[in-house]
């Protein structure tokens, strides 16, 4: 009777494969933070016009303007093309910070939830994404979204704010630090839901793609397409949370109950999905951009 002996080459190959899997499933925290921040900053800069249109649509219409196109035309006519970039700097900084925090939190939690093969189940991915969303909401999203939304809302009326720093100064002077955290509850709910759906669906789609074609996405077009699909799912699953969040963070601010009631009064059930078109345009691009840039930076390191 002969005893099968594994060849040295097979043993080395197996060890290399195991090492690669372990290395890939344990991403250094600083790498996650840096890659996420760069990806978020790039995405926010490219897609901001969509964000401006979405936020303008969700805020109460003024002067009889109800459509996104009408609102954008009016802004460009009166303020020039730069008008649709109102609040952009706040969002870019905030998105870079929140994306860095999101990927850092997600990768840290993911490392503790993956199985022995380095794979993350759909339910674990949703849980990791939800926790990451709550963390990013408190540390980054709420104050920067509050400033961006207040700037856009102010631009439609009194125009008290001359710049982002000026807006921050007025909000703090009038409402204290708490003024920058107006809408914390609605923002945290929205971010937890968005991050859970986005990160969970992205990881699930990656796993399904790998099982179908025989390998994980390797090229930028592959990653971009999967990220865009995750963005599509995210928009329609979480849009009501985003609409309510926007109303609570207007220049004057509304309570959660008042925001919900206002959305219902203005548009009924469909009102909760107001702004989904521009947000879809942004998330289709942002999902592809963020995950593509993030994966490329990880592969570089």
Nearest to 285 by CA among 134, 95, 140, 146: 95
Q: Domain spans of the chain?
A: 27-300
Sign of CA dihedral 85, 143, 248, 188: positive
Amino acid 279: pLDDT: 81
In which residue are the tokens 């397409």 written?
A: 225
Amino acid 7: pLDDT: 45
Cα distance between residue 93 and residue 118, in whole Å: 32
Topology classification of domain 27-300: Mitochondrial carrier fold (1.50.40)
Nearest to 30 by CA among 96, 99, 104, 138: 104
Amino acid 71: pLDDT: 65
Instruction: For the chain, 301 residues long, give each residue's pLDDT as a single digit of tens.
Output: 444 444 444 433 444 444 444 444 567 788 888 888 888 888 888 888 877 777 777 775 544 445 566 767 777 787 777 777 777 887 788 778 878 888 888 888 888 888 877 777 888 888 888 898 888 888 888 888 888 888 887 776 667 888 888 888 988 998 888 888 888 888 898 889 888 888 888 888 988 898 888 888 878 888 889 988 988 898 888 889 888 888 887 766 678 888 888 888 888 888 888 878 778 877 778 778 888 888 888 888 7
Phi-psi region of 166 (alpha: psi -120 to 50; beta: other; left: phi over 0): alpha
Amino acid 109: pLDDT: 87
Amino acid 26: pLDDT: 62
Amino acid 8: pLDDT: 44
DSSP symbols for 238-272: HHHHHHHHHHHTSSS---HHHHHHHHHHHHHHHHT
Amino acid 129: pLDDT: 86
């Amino acid at each position: 009777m002969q005893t099968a002996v594994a060849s040295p080459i097979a043993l080395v190959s197996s060890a290399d494969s195991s090492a690669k899997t372990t290395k890939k499933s344990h991403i250094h925290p600083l790498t996650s933070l840096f890659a996420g921040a760069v990806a978020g900053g790039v995405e926010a800069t490219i897609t901001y016009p969509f964000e401006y249109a979405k936020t303008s649509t969700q805020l109460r219409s003024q002067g009889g303007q109800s459509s996104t196109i009408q609102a954008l035309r009016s802004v460009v006519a009166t303020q020039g093309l730069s008008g649709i970039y109102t609040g952009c700097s706040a969002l870019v900084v905030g998105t870079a910070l929140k994306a860095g925090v999101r990927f850092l939190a997600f990768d840290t939690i993911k490392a503790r939830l993956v199985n022995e093969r380095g794979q993350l189940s759909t339910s674990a991915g949703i849980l990791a994404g939800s926790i990451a969303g709550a963390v990013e909401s408190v540390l980054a999203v709420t104050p920067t979204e509050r400033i961006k939304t207040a700037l856009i809302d102010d631009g439609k009326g009194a125009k008290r704010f001359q710049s982002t720093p000026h807006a921050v100064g007025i909000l703090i002077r009038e409402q204290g630090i708490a003024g920058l955290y107006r809408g914390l509850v609605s923002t945290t709910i929205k971010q937890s839901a968005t991050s859970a759906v986005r990160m969970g669906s992205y990881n699930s789609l990656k796993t399904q793609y790998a099982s179908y074609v025989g390998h994980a996405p390797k090229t930028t077009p592959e990653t971009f397409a999967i990220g865009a699909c995750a963005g599509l799912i995210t928009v329609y699953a979480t849009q009501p949370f985003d609409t309510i969040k926007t109303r609570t963070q207007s220049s004057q601010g509304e309570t959660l109950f008042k925001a919900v009631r206002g959305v219902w009064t203005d548009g009924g059930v469909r009102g909760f999905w107001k702004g989904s078109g521009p947000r879809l345009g942004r998330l289709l691009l942002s999902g592809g951009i963020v995950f593509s840039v993030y994966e490329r930076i990880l592969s570089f390191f």
